[in-house]
């Protein structure tokens, strides 16, 4: 996943590799009203969601706030000291863009999810070549 703002691509900020400074922490609290610990807790909650619940949660107030904070942190991590007001005016659906290799939930890809407990292809045995039967209905001696 990448973030694209005004034609410039930014990687989604990995919270464990964030360039943390007092200025960033102060701006996070002043502009967004969250501490870095609260952002981490929200991100951890999002990671633990069942894939079926992810879309619904991403449209909740917590999910949208995490999306906005992700954009804000990505831009700050790239040296762009944008304001929260700037970020919340961006169209989130256009800002977040998939990259090759991103894992897409099956529902988002327009494919039905397999039933619980089923694995596509489970129990399927590959076909092996069988010797052809003779016209009499008996198999050849070489097949035995």
Q: Where are the domains of the chain?
A: 2-97
**What's the rounded Cα separation, in Å, for the pair 139 and 51?**
51
**What's the rounded Cα separation, in Å, for the pair 4 and 50?**
27
Per-residue pLDDT of the chain (144 residues; tens, 9 = 90+): 889 999 999 988 788 888 889 999 999 999 999 999 999 999 998 888 887 888 888 888 998 999 999 999 999 999 999 999 999 999 888 898 887 776 655 444 444 444 444 344 444 444 455 555 555 555 555 555
For the stretch 83-108, what's the b/e string if a residue is b when 16 or more beta carbons lie within 10 angstroms of its beta carbon? ebeebeebeeeebbeeeeeeeeeeee
Name beta bridge partners: 105. none
């Amino acid at each position: 996943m990448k973030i694209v703002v005004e034609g410039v691509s930014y990687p989604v900020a990995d919270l464990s590799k964030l360039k943390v400074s007092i200025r960033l922490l102060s701006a996070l609290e002043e502009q967004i009203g969250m501490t870095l610990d609260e952002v981490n807790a929200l991100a951890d909650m999002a990671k633990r969601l069942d894939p079926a619940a992810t879309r619904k949660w991403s449209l909740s107030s917590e999910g949208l706030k995490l999306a906005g904070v992700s954009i804000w942190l990505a831009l700050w991590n790239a040296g762009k000291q944008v304001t929260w007001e700037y970020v919340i005016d961006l169209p989130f659906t256009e800002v977040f863009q998939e990259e090759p290799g991103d894992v897409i939930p099956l529902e988002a890809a327009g494919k039905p999810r397999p039933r619980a407990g089923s694995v596509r292809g489970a129990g399927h045995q590959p076909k092996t070549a069988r010797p052809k039967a003779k016209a009499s209905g008996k198999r050849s001696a070489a097949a035995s």
